[in-house]
Amino acid sequence: MKKDYDLIVHKFSKDMPYLNLYPIGDMQVGSANFDEEGWHKWKKEVLADDKGYVVIVGDTINNGLKRSKSNVYDEVMRPREQKEWLVRELGSIGDKILGVVRGNHEERSSNETDNCPLYDVMAKLDLESLYRENMAFLKINLGSRTADRQCSYVIGLAHGKSKARTGYFAYMIDGMDVFVTGHVHTPSSTFPAKIVIDSHNETIRRVGFKHIIVPSLDYGGYQLRDMYNIQDSNVFPIVHLGGERKEVSVTWK
SS3 letters across 90-131: HHCCHHHEEEEECCHHHHHHHHHHCCCHHHHHHHHCCCHHHE
Contacts of the segment 123-126: beta carbons below 8 A, 24+ positions apart:
124/87, 125/87, 125/90, 125/91, 125/94, 125/97, 126/94
Q: What residues make up the domain containing 28?
A: 8-252
pLDDT of residue 233: 66
pLDDT of residue 232: 73
pLDDT level of residue 87 (50, 70, 90 thresholds): very high
Coil, strand or helix at 151: strand
Q: What is the pLDDT of residues 33-42, one digit of tens each?
A: 999 999 999 9
Mean pLDDT score of the chain, rounded to an integer? 93
pLDDT at 30 over 70: yes
1 inside domain: no
Closest alpha carbon to 84 in 35, 129, 125, 43: 125
2 inside domain: no
Q: Lowest mean pLDDT of 40-44, 138-142, 222-226, name the range.
A: 222-226
Amino acid at 34: F
Between residues 163 and 203, which one has the greater pLDDT?
203
176-190 average pLDDT score: 94
Between residues 148 and 85, which one has the greater pLDDT?
85
Give me the CATH number covering residue 162: 3.60.21.10
Q: Please tell me the total number of residues recorded for the chain in this structure.
A: 253
50 inside domain: yes
Residue 174 φ/ψ, nearest 5 degrees: -90, 145
233 inside domain: yes
Distance CA 234, CA 232 (A): 5
pLDDT of residue 66: 74
Between residues 148 and 87, which one has the greater pLDDT?
87
Residue 40 φ/ψ, nearest 5 degrees: -70, -30
Query: How many domains does the chain contain in total?
Result: 1
212 inside domain: yes
3 inside domain: no
Distance CA 25, CA 215 (A): 7
95 inside domain: yes
96 inside domain: yes
Q: What is the pLDDT of residues 51-76, one digit of tens each?
A: 999 999 999 999 988 777 767 777 89
pTM for the full predicted model: 0.95
Residue 53, class by beta-carbon neighbours within 10 Å (0-12 exposed, 13-18 middle, 19+ buried)?
A: buried
pLDDT of residue 229: 75
pLDDT over 90, % of the chain: 81
Distance CA 192, CA 210 (A): 7
